[in-house]
Amino acid sequence: MKVRIGPVLTVTLAPAVDWTVSVEGFELGGVNRAVSSTREASGKGVNVAWALSRAGVPVDVLVPGAGTASAFIDDELERAGIPHRTVPTRRETRTNITLRVPGSSTKINEPAPALSEDELAEVTREVRARAASAEVVALCGSLPASVPAATYAGLIEAARAANPDLRVVLDTSGEPLALALAARPDLVKPNVDELAELTGRTIGTLGDVRSAAEQAMEMGAGAVLASLGADGSLLVTPEGAFRAVSRDIPVSNSVGAGDALLAGFIAGGDFGPRSLGTAALWAASAVSAATTLFPVREEFTERIAVAGDPDPAIALTEPSRPLSKTPGPLTAG
């Protein structure tokens, strides 16, 4: 039985236009001719909204922006019939470039433009106003360098002040994640490296992932959805731990797989094992698609398994990177 989820508000403080150029070969310093070129409205929360909307889940998108890149994002969302609000800014929205050659790709990401205090205050007012009619708020992505690290904590508090029954999910990393835990988001979605940084742990097994997730919950997270790359994903809740793995999925493009995982989890509706299965299906569908605008491949359902209490001794294919020399975990306040 599918669970119908109500309106989902996504908030992306660092939106972008993703410009992908494909060439048959590349010569540094030479003239290279593109064989194809595409542009997509992007940013982590925008990607989540795209996936949800294409699956029939009502969404509302909030981004700051200005200039031609922002106008492109507005036009694309308008064409798709996705409700959205762009808070006007003084600095132009960024464009990120992906150069694809056969067998590899290279990304060049512009830094997110700064937001002034007035612009950030307007974003907060919009979150408060739009959260009142939402069922879920998804706060996604990195913060522009000028924005205080505690911004996500403040946005969670503003959203909950408008709607105490709201569920809040957070997909970010570093100090913004650590400080946001004090506001008690219902779910956070780190990858292995982000979870290791948050907790000050080295993560090499499923048991390490679970222990780190439980530490994150002690710091304030309601639940943790850890993306493990080739090892699937692990959901840790007060009721226990559940792992989703997929097999025999053709991989075409891994960009945006984490955003698809989060979108699928939200769409699953129960924030438990059912949601984890939906999340794994959407992530598998995303990696099998050529672009981030993927169709959900229901035929992959039989290739996905969800089980509770996974063996803690299972080693990760991609353990966490070595921690910095600074000892101890990031703190939540």
Cross-strand bridge partners of residue 41: 17
Amino acid at 299: E
How confident is the prediction for the chain on average, in pLDDT? Answer: 92
Predicted confidence band of residue 252 (pLDDT cuts 50, 70, 90)? low
Q: Encode pLDDT of 293-325 as tens digits.
A: 677 888 887 889 999 999 999 999 999 998 865
Active site annotation includes 193: no
Q: How far is 137 from 187, CA to CA, in rounded Å?
A: 11
Q: Among 50-64, 241-255, 295-309, which is the least confidently predicted range?
A: 241-255
* Residue pair 149/179 in contact by the 8 Å Cβ criterion: yes
The alpha carbon torsion through 36, 37, 41, 47 (nearest 10 deg) reads 40
Per-residue model confidence (pLDDT) at position 2: 52
Q: Encode pLDDT of 156-172 as tens digits.
A: 999 999 999 999 999 99
Q: Encode pLDDT of 90-111 as tens digits.
A: 999 999 998 989 888 898 999 9
Which residue, 222, 223, 225, 199, is CA-closest to 212?
199
Residue with tokens 């992306």: 12
What are the residues whose beta carbons fall under 8 Å from the beta carbon of 130, sequence distance 6 or more? 9, 60, 62, 85
Q: Encode pLDDT of 212-231 as tens digits.
A: 999 999 999 999 999 998 89
Q: Do β-strands 233-237 and 224-227 pair in parallel, antiparallel, or remain unpaired?
A: antiparallel
Superfamily designation of domain 43-92+113-308: Ribokinase (3.40.1190.20)
β-sheet with 16-23: strand ranges across: 34-42, 16-23, 94-101, 104-108
Selecting among 208, 259, 270, 311, the annotated active-site residue is 259
The answer, yes or no, to whether residue 327 has pLDDT greater than 50, is no
The answer, yes or no, to whether residue 208 has pLDDT greater than 80, is yes
The answer, yes or no, to whether residue 116 has pLDDT greater than 90, is yes
174-182 mean pLDDT = 98
Q: How far is 262 from 284, CA to CA, in rounded Å?
A: 12
45-54 mean pLDDT = 95
Which residue, 114, 127, 175, is CA-closest to 155?
127
